[in-house]
Amino acid sequence: MDLPVVDLAPFLQAAAGDAAPAEAEEALRALCATVSASLRDTGALLVKDPRCTAADNDRFLDVVERYFARSDDSKRLQERPHLHYQVGVTPEGVEVPRSLVDKEMQDRIKSMPEEFQPATPKGPDPKWRYMWRVGPRPSNTRFKELNAEPVIPDGLPEWKETMDSWGAKMISAIEVVAEMAAIGFGLSKDAFTSLMKEGPHLLAPTGSNLMRHGSEGTVFAGFHYDLNFLTIHGRSRFPGLNIWLSNGKKMEVKVPVGCLLIQSGKQLEWLTGGECLAGMHEVVVTKRTLEAIELAKEQNRSLWRISSTLFSHIASDATLKPLGHFAEAPNAHSYPPICAGEYVEQELSAINLKGKVAL
């Protein structure tokens, strides 16, 4: 099965005020229904946004590859553990996959048919990650650590402009998808985007050293869900992402050139009363990864696997609760109102990015 590819251009044109005939409006509604159905049924969606080009993605990957190629000691200068690793670099061996610490998730894995079970991590993820805040933050917030100032590495003069530019484009794409999903779910167009205003959005590329960890079966990111609202990825130069559909089947994701992958996160699950579950996924070295490694060696390219990832969030001081008709969903009672920032801190604690708090 392939994920649907949704071209955002018709929706963008309509949003720009180009009056659409009735049949075009009907086509737009059908497009919005495709977005919401794909997020609900697969936890994922491929989109094409004319504002986010393959060249933009390549420029971003080039800069981030250069950063991760630095020595470990040099990279650790950008480490900020006292800010829950929500800005700057997170070294490999810090982030713990949820499947290692969550008994409920472990039971779920055991109940899966063997061919759909995720790879078993041997410990913390052997990937680095860089967190770069995108967009404005609130002047007043109870969650200062989640809204900290960005950390800029020395010696890469193009870093800030590249990160800001690609981050802004990816957020723009997420906002359009959020509007389309809201319409598809029968909510007001701004039901989600109004809650995203001044959220702690993070451009969060991972860096995985395929020279050190390039053997088949290596787990870079163990089976997990994303704690945020919607996650968006540009195309990586090395495949390896597996996702699980709502029917429990495992699927290797192939992102076409020029497309972006969207995944539903736990905050979207909360806002839909469990109707749209957070997508489970993992990143593993596969045969296709090995083929890409051989090609990169032949072409003398970097052997760091960079993910072009952005986490969009609901604002820290906003309340997460099922919206509109989702308050009547069968499992809505499992999603009581909680401040988004509190929820994020609890999740960060579980995966070892914050001092432990009661879950």
pLDDT confidence of residue 354: 46
- pTM equals 0.91
Q: Cβ(67)–Cβ(154) under 8 Å? A: no
pLDDT confidence of residue 99: 80
Q: Tell me: the pLDDT tens digits for 223-237? A: 888 999 999 999 999
pLDDT confidence of residue 358: 32
The position carrying tokens 């650790």 is 76
Q: Tell me: the pLDDT tens digits for 274-322? A: 999 999 999 999 999 999 999 999 999 999 999 999 999 999 999 999 9
CA angle 123, 291, 255 (to 5 degrees): 80
Please list the alpha-helical segments (H only) found in the chain: 9-15, 22-42, 54-68, 72-75, 98-101, 103-110, 159-184, 193-196, 266-271, 287-298, 340-350
Taking the chain (359 residues) in runs of 10, the rounded mean pLDDT of each run is 88 78 84 96 94 95 97 95 87 85 87 93 90 87 74 95 97 97 97 96 95 93 92 94 89 92 96 95 95 97 95 96 97 96 84 42
Which of helix, strand or coil describes residue 45? strand
Residue 240 CA to its chain's centroid (Å): 15
pLDDT confidence of residue 359: 26
Instruction: Write the class of the CATH domain 5-351.
Output: mainly beta
Delimit the domains of the chain by residue range.
5-351
